[in-house]
Structure 1
Amino acid sequence: MSVFKLPHSLLKDINSLFHNFWWGQQDRENKIHWISWKWMEKSKLEGVMSFKDLEAFNKVMLAKQCWRLIQQLESLVAKVMKAKYYPRSIFQQAKLGTKPSFIWRCFLSARPLVEAGAYWKVENGSEMHIWKDKWIAHPTPSKSLSPVKVLDKIATVSSSNSSREVWNQLWQLQVSYGEKYGERV
């Protein structure tokens, strides 16, 4: 479950077994539904059973493996995947490729979940694209805000280190985002 994306039909059947255990027939009589399944999926902190939505759980476990490919570059799995599927780039930019394995397809299906919650940590900024990568709170400019005119569309953070004016403009853009979304910058 943590490496393969299980088929929707299989997960539905397993969920059905859970439901039948709790609310299935007993001696030709249907059991009473005292509480909804949605309530039973809530966390234990809320005082209920905390059953998992297996499809969501499967996707989260795959995302965890993707995160390991990003963070643990020296692991054997990360080295093998990088050598085979993205030798000249990073996992976030990897393509499906020709004749991909089932595991690789599973990892790529979970990559959007990782991307939705991941941000770059600014260090030297050599691989971080200013407009493409998520390194500020809201990376997609709204229609009312225009991108900074000084920077190229594929500019990296390190390529603009020397220009104080550029960084001042980026800071103003971030402040504008914060004001729009009600965040402190």
Structure 2
Amino acid sequence: MRKGKFKTLKERFQKRLSDWVEKYLSSGGKEVLIKAIMQALPVYAMSVFQFPAGLVEELNQMIRDFHWGDEHERRRMHWLSWDKLTQPKACGGMGFRDFRVYNQALLARQAWRLIQYPDSPSARLLKAKYYPVGHLLDTAFIQDVSATWRGVMHGLDLLKQGAIWRIGSGSMVKIWRDN
């Protein structure tokens, strides 16, 4: 999907940040505002669509600028890198979410639901359209797909990295194809 499709989300993001004057908030107040409001705004859309890399970077940049107190004409010192701020508090970070990783994790959750609940109406519909024969994890997909299914495929890439296959009775093993 193109970045322009998410214009209203970006505008809502900017409006929420402009409603709060950052110089009157403490560091703890900024942290609560970012975690409770800003990182919760795009969760539904992120669980359905793969966000473009440019949009993800813009959203992360808006949060970074608000956290550090940057303004249009004046930049402040960034005492820690964004990678450090996105680490959990137990590891020395602030626990902020990196939207790129979070988007893929939410989409992997949708793929996991298709595997766990194959009899649900949405799983049956998607199976009939995109992988009528075979299993979700070992199917090659067509290129001309909907934006929602493209997001599921993006999450499936992450899911495949951590998926293991238990042999069990061996009835599902295809000796010439499976490792």
Q: TM-score range by the shorter chain?
A: 0.5 to 0.7
- Inter-partner Cα distance in structure 1 for 2:72 and 2:95: 28
Q: Which residue of 2 aligns with 1:54?
A: 99
Q: Which has the higher contact order (CA 8 A, sep 6+)?
A: 2
Q: Which residue of 1 aligns with 2:130?
A: 85
More helix by share: 2
Structure 1 position 60, deviation (Å)? 1.0
Tell which deviates more after alignment, 55-64 or 88-97: 88-97
TM-score between the two structures when normalised by the length of structure 2:
0.65
- Inter-partner Cα distance in structure 2 for 1:25 and 1:155: 53
Query: What value does the CA root-mean-square deviation take over the aligned residues?
Result: 2.3
Deviations, residues 86-118 of structure 1 (Å, cap 9, x unaligned): 111110122323642111122122222111100
The aligned amino acid for 1:81 is L
The aligned amino acid for 1:153 is W
Which SS does the other structure have where 1:11 is aligned? helix
- Structure 1 contact 66–111 (Cα < 8 Å) conserved: yes
Between Structure 1 and Structure 2, whose CA radius of gyration is higher? 1
Runs of 4+ that moved beyond 6 A: none
Tell which deviates more after alignment, 95-104 or 60-69: 95-104
TM-score between the two structures when normalised by the length of structure 1:
0.63
Structure 2: give runs of 5+ residues left out of the alignment: 1-45
- Inter-partner Cα distance in structure 1 for 2:170 and 2:120: 24
Percent identity between the aligned chains? 34
Q: Which residue of 2 aligns with 1:153?
A: 176
Structure 1: give runs of 5+ residues left out of the alignment: 130-151, 157-185
